Chains A and B, each alone.
Chain A
Amino acid sequence: MTAFRALLRRELWSFAISPFSWVLIGFWMLLNGLFFSILLRSADVQSNLGMLPTYLFGSGGLLAFLLLPVIPPLLTLRLFAEEHRLGTLEPLLTAPISDAAVVLAKYVAACLFFLVFWLGVLALFVLLQFYDAPLDWPRILSAFSGALLASALFLAVGLWTSSWGGNLILAAAGGAGVNYMLLFLPAMFSGGTGRTAAVARAMNIPQMLEVGFAAGLIDSYAVLYFPLLALLFLYLTWMRLVSRRWVP
């Protein structure tokens, strides 16, 4: 546990002192701020501010479709891929700490640091509140909880692709690619009828975000879906680390 905490602290600190992390946050906030400003000027949102969470967090939004699948793998790419490239992974894996604790510490650190990204988006709503905008806060918080769960999943995917090897581009592009597949593949097949469509509907993340969380409706399945899938990718990451000993 002490080793886990030490590793978690180390990872958090390395995020905090990495200029790349802060540039990512700046880029994230710039695009979100732009999208937010454009939305605020649209007649739809000015007529009913209740539409803002749906547009921002729901399907079709810049946040869900462009930023959310891409930014987490960029943040996590250094967690294993860079260590592999710099040759610091071997000493870490031979240190007196289990592989599972290594994976978990890196993942928890990434999740905690990603909260800073979301605090930036929350600040936009606080800004609106400052201008006396009528906000439906329970619904906004529900939308945020969906976005947090989705980002936890995408971070786990990023961690997994980062464990593939020392190639940073492969880690980032692979992570974004898998995230886009998770987003779009089920949505593509969920329109029809039959077993495939039913399975696709059960995995339709944009649908969960838009008609669930962003509408203020929290579904137990959606609450379990993201952590279970994140757990799967953490397990795959662990498997990759373990198998490195067998198949380098």
Chain B
Amino acid sequence: MIAKRRLRLGLLSLAAAAGGVVLIMILLQAFSRPALRWRVDLSSGGTAALSDRTAEALAALPEGSEAVAFLFQEERRLEENGSAVYATAFGRLRTLLEDARIRSRGRLGVTVVGVRSSPVEQQAQLQRSRRQPLETLILTTPGGGRRALRFHELFVTSDPTPEGMPARILQERVDTALGDAALRLANQTAPRAGIVGGYGQPAESELMGLLQLLHGEGIDPVSIRGPASDKDFDLLVVVGQQRQFLETDAQAARAWVNAGRPLFLVLGPRAPQAVVDFWNGILEPDHGLRFGAGVVCDARPQAKVYEGTNLVASLELTAAQFATQHPATAHLAESTRLQGVIFCRPIELAGGGVDFARTALASSGARAWADLDQDFAVGPQERRGRQILAASAERWEAADPALSGRVVAYGSPEGLIRYLPLARDFIAPLFRWLLRIETPMGLVAVESLPFRPARAEQIRMTNIAVIAMPGLPLMIALLVFLRRRR
């Protein structure tokens, strides 16, 4: 009788315990639902979580979308001299992807593949996502949409120095890149840039860097023979035009600009005068932009760049040389990253209608000059002074935002061909501004907290942490023990 009662009560307590387990599991399952979760970002600068814009873009993705992060250390330079670039970057990526998973409201599955993942898992993910070298984050949708983001599209890093300084993360743009990729995948459309290629412009192979940059910014480049092309595009891009347009293309270009559609025009010092005059004729009356003459040069004796050598045509731009008020350059005006501009024709702000706002986006130093005779030294006809390297114009007010007359004039085709890496952070936001991808560049300064104590300090800290601090409780233990024995 007693044994039976004990068994019954034993089973009852087991059932009650199981009930408790089930109840807690149900509660946890309910609280894990993204809709019921809130997150507080305590990190300094509030950069541990994704922005609301990116979270909304992720929540708009089709159900079953996936983000696969490949955390592989592929660039040796980012590991040299004990660099923490990969450790910091991968930590940030893990945090932001977990945030993305939660805030996408279950629409985005996140998989992280690292060197510690099993080889089978690595191989399966590599094949499934068709990963190319250097691709760090790949977003896919069930409909076949795919966006791949390379490491340098997510993080801006410095290089290690021969003096032994390691590479550092200067800035990151994971949030914006993820948001853009999600928007693009959700809409299944991307703005298209029509790149004119029929008038002596650089070949497509030479523009590969620019095409990759556009892809990275979520813009589809479209090759067109001229502005009169019947292909559909949202932005007209003319880089290094060497011959005059045929009449149909000339008319189309004029009509395009007069309609207020966006134009990115890059004419260098080698552009024929007739081409320069044609575009000045279109841009000067209303937009108030014109291409000047010569090559912008600036000597930098402290860097051993002296007048008389063609090195003066390669310019180094610091934060102070960018427009602080313009959305495309404001981030650079606050950054410490130098930009490089090579062999640039000066731009002038001249004339123009009162309904257009004009901005000198980037300028040279105050001792620069526009070299007219190609001797790379200041001549009698050449006056020193700040030269404009790139300028923009847009209407103050426009009924249709897409027709607000946004134009960027830039004087260095070389800067978009061979030397694009020197000015990448300057060029990319210009395209975004022209296409009204209004969010800022999304560069977030990554706070690096270097701490290199002297050897003596390090030894003192170790002694305190390993001997003094543990010694105190051990002493208390001994005292307590002796006292209790007594």
Contacts and interface: CB of A to CB of B under 8 A. Distances in A.
Interface of A: 17-23, 25-27, 29-30, 32-34, 36-37, 40-51, 54, 58, 120, 123-124, 127-128, 131, 133-136, 138-139, 141-142, 191, 193, 199, 202-203, 207, 210-212, 215-221, 224-225, 228-229, 231-232, 235-236, 239, 242-243, 246-247
A23 B451 contact: no
A37 B465 contact: yes
Interface string B76-100: 0000011110011001001100110
B82 A43 contact: yes
A247 B9 contact: yes
Given A37-B465, A218-B39, A220-B31, A47 B83 contact: yes
Contact of B44 (A17, A138, A203): A138
Nearest to A236: B17
B239 interface: no
Nearest to A31: B470
A215 B95 contact: yes
B381 interface: no
Given A44-B84, A191-B121, A22 B477 contact: yes
A124 B465 contact: yes
Contact of B39 (A127, A220, A225): A220
A203 B27 CA distance: 13
Contacts of B474: 22-23, 26
Interface stretch (B293-301, B352-360, B417-425, B442-450): B442-450
B449 A49 contact: yes
Contacts of B44: 136, 138-139, 216
Contacts of A193: 109, 111
- Secondary structure at chain B's binding surface: helix, strand, loop or mixed? helix
Contact of B470 (A33, A135, A232): A33
Nearest to A38: B462
Contact of B32 (A29, A40, A221): A221
B466 A30 contact: yes
B96 to A, nearest CB: 9
- Give the 8 A-B CB pairs with smallest separation, nearest first: A43-B82, A216-B43, A22-B477, A33-B465, A246-B9, A30-B470, A26-B474, A243-B13
B9 A131 contact: no
Given A40-B461, A210-B94, A218 B477 contact: no
Nearest to A143: B42
B350 to A, nearest CB: 48
Given A37-B465, A46-B452, A212-B95, 12 more contacts: A22-B476, A23-B477, A26-B472, A26-B477, A123-B469, A131-B461, A142-B42, A191-B117, A217-B39, A217-B48, A217-B95, A219-B38
B451 A134 contact: yes
A229 B416 CA distance: 58
Contacts of A215: 43, 48, 91, 95
Interface stretch (B230-238, B261-269, B478-486): B478-486
A229 B23 CA distance: 11
13 contacts: A26-B477, A37-B465, A43-B82, A43-B166, A44-B82, A50-B447, A54-B91, A127-B464, A211-B95, A231-B24, A232-B21, A246-B12, A247-B10
Nearest to A141: B42
Interface string B1-21: 000011001101100110011
Given A133-B451, A221-B32, A236-B20, A127 B9 contact: no
A103 B336 CA distance: 58
B458 interface: yes
A32 B473 CA distance: 14
B13 A239 contact: yes
B275 to A, nearest CB: 50
B28 interface: yes
A239 B28 CA distance: 21
Contacts of B31: 220-221, 224-225, 228
A236 B474 CA distance: 34
Contacts of B32: 202, 221
A232 B18 CA distance: 10
A239 B464 contact: no
Contact of B98 (A48, A123, A212): A212
A217 B41 contact: yes
Interface string B35-77: 0111111111000110000000000000000000000000000
A207 B102 CA distance: 13
B20 A239 contact: yes
Nearest to B168: A47
B457 interface: yes
A130 B45 CA distance: 23
A58 B92 CA distance: 13
A215 B95 CA distance: 7
B29 interface: yes
A9 B98 CA distance: 42
B453 interface: yes
B272 interface: no
A136 B48 contact: no
Contacts of A225: 28, 31
B65 to A, nearest CB: 13
Contacts of B478: 19
A182 to B, nearest CB: 13
Contacts of A46: 82, 450-452
B440 interface: no
Contacts of A51: 84, 87-88, 91
B43 A25 contact: no
B465 A219 contact: no
A220 B34 CA distance: 10
Nearest to A44: B84
B16 A239 contact: yes
B285 interface: no
Contacts of B36: 220-221
Nearest to A36: B465
Given A139-B42, A239-B13, A228 B20 contact: no
A243 B9 contact: yes
B142 interface: no
